[in-house]
Amino acid sequence: MSVPKFDLVIVGGGSAGLELARMATRSELNVALIEQGVSSGRHIFQRIPLMVGKIIGNSHFVDVWRSVPLMSAGGFARPILAGRGLGGSSRINGNVAYAGPRRRYTQVYDKIGLNFSDILRELSPDASNAAPRVHTWTDCLSELFLKATVADGARLLDDPDDDFFGASPLHVNTRWGLRHNHLEAFYRQAQKSKLTIVHGNAKELIFTDSRVSGVVLVNGTEIHAQEIIVSAGAIGSPTLLLHSGIGDSAMLRRAGIAGKLDQPHVGRHLKDHANLRIPFSCPEHDTLNQKTRGFKALAEGFKFLTGQSDTILRGPGASAGLNVEWDNPYRIQLVHFTQDRSQVGTKGIVFEKIRGASLGMYALWPYSEGSVELTSKELRIDPGFLTDQRDMTTTLHALSHARNLIFQMGFAPHSNHIDDETLIRTGVYSGYHLIGSNRMARTARDGVVAPDFRVHGIDGLSICDASVMPDHLSSHSYLATIAQARMLGRQRGWI
């Protein structure tokens, strides 16, 4: 079955896909937006920021993969997550809103010839069309953390995007205490008469000679357009290309897929923030471990319903962070709970009952790279955690720094009976900030897409999502992903 031809097909209704559809329809293009997930983003657990922890493992809202066993990280697999449905991961992420420092964009994109200055101004908190950004809730524990960072030599920042390295309360995408995912702006601003939303799973791309002319869905439906933009994320986008015969020819041959374009960079250079958390006891402070139970939980619900700003429900469970400029910069973040990570499942995060909290940390610009590959039987995801020794060195330094901050706060980290390197290798987990698996480069020798987001060597096909980022741009990838979409829209004359 085939449907009428469109000007543009966008595969993936996550943050980048929605932003592209918004801009393209307002430029009078007829757009088909394909999204496999059917959740509308209106579930109460998606609207209240903290409650997303209850659905983080639910396959109705989240795509859940397992990595390959990671020999560089304890030898066992890790869960890899991405949001399903319109809005993608912006509906299930930590809601933290940092575009990243301008100088980092200069570092990454100068060699490619792109300048993001105007786009970053558009994404600043005071821009007229920017998503809302407010400080999350804080409490005494948050103040202790921020005071400890200042005592340790850090500066307090009002807007971390202006001067990234320092400490600040978290900035979050909320309005009136509710999550503002990218679906909200899309519903308000897209020209709906020019938009067709197709709920389905893209199987492969359709070729007409050397040009991509459409997409075939798993159910056999074909959708044709003058241009196809793949925006299915750092896992989904390379997977679709590989299934379509675009990738390393030897890998495709082993997987039994007929090759269309030999492009070994597809699925390579995958990067993620390898998070580590260390718990500490804070006997005189209630944390989420206590505030999410019994009468204290009811009190938090009352504060939320009556519009009070100091309730835990308005934030992601973390409240403040510190970005440290070092040989390889890193981030430390205050997390108001402790958990047994082995218990994260379909019912979400399970908080422990002790009076405790955690400091999380990770290298901001990791060197380690992983991959997305196909075999004849399965998809293989390897985030490559700590495969580059420089990332281990950075995490060891961050761990020492975090312990010092805990002592400065007047507490003590939980004791360990293993050495620090083993603690790190067995304890790291995905930050769910995956990028780079279709990285941008000037030539096909170095990457998959050109600076105009078009795939090297194929007409009619572009990619625009976190997978094209040549490297990490921020501590959190949501606004950096929107920046990619805005850049493509500017190049095409849509804004």
Residue 131 has what pLDDT? 65
* Residue 322: half-sphere exposure toward Cβ, Cα within 13 Å: 27
Cβ-count burial 71-102 (b if 16+ within 10 Å, e if not): ebbbeeebbbbbbbbbbbbbbbbbbbbbbbbb
Same fold for the domain at 1-131+178-272+368-386+432-495 and the one at 133-172+274-365+387-427? no
Query: What does the chain come to in residues?
Result: 495
- pLDDT score of 344: 55
What is the model's pTM? Answer: 0.95
> What is the pLDDT, as a whole number, of residue 10?
98
Q: Contact, 96 vs 481, CB < 8 A?
A: no
Position 1 scores a pLDDT of 62
Contact indicator for 439, 456 with CB cutoff of 8 Å: no
3-class SS of residue 92: coil
The CATH number given to 133-172+274-365+387-427 is 3.30.410.10
pLDDT of residue 286: 92
How many angstroms separate the most distant Cα atoms in the chain?
69
CATH top-level class of 1-131+178-272+368-386+432-495: alpha beta
Cβ neighbours of residue 308 closer than 8 Å, sequence gap 6 or more = none
Who contacts 103 (Cβ-Cβ below 8 Å, separation ≥6)? none
Evaluated on CA atoms 246, 250, 251, 254, the torsion sign reads positive
First to last CA, the chain: 34
pLDDT of residue 245: 98
Name the DSSP letter for residue 459: B
Query: Where do the domains of the chain lie?
Result: 1-131+178-272+368-386+432-495, 133-172+274-365+387-427
Residue 211 · residue 458 · CB < 8 Å: yes
| Tens of pLDDT, residue by residue, the chain (495 residues) | 666 689 999 999 999 999 999 999 999 999 999 998 766 666 777 888 888 877 787 888 889 899 999 999 999 999 999 988 888 888 888 888 899 999 999 999 999 999 999 999 888 776 656 666 777 878 899 999 999 999 999 999 987 777 889 999 998 877 777 887 777 778 778 888 999 999 999 999 999 998 999 999 999 999 999 999 999 999 999 999 999 999 999 999 999 999 999 999 999 999 999 999 999 999 999 998 999 899 998 998 998 888 888 888 888 889 999 999 988 999 999 999 998 765 555 667 788 889 999 999 999 999 999 999 999 889 999 999 999 999 999 999 999 999 999 999 999 999 888 999 999 999 999 999 999 999 999 999 999 999 999 999 999 999 999 999 999 999 999 999 999 999 999 999 998
Could you give the CA distance from residue 267 to residue 239 in angstroms, rounded to a whole number? Answer: 7
pLDDT of 424 reads 98
Which pLDDT belongs to residue 55? 79
* Residue 374 pLDDT: 96
User: SS3 of 300, please?
Assistant: helix
What pLDDT does 40 receive? 61
Q: Which residues of 426-438 are buried (b: 16+ CB within 10 A; e: fewer)?
A: ebbbbbbbbbbbb
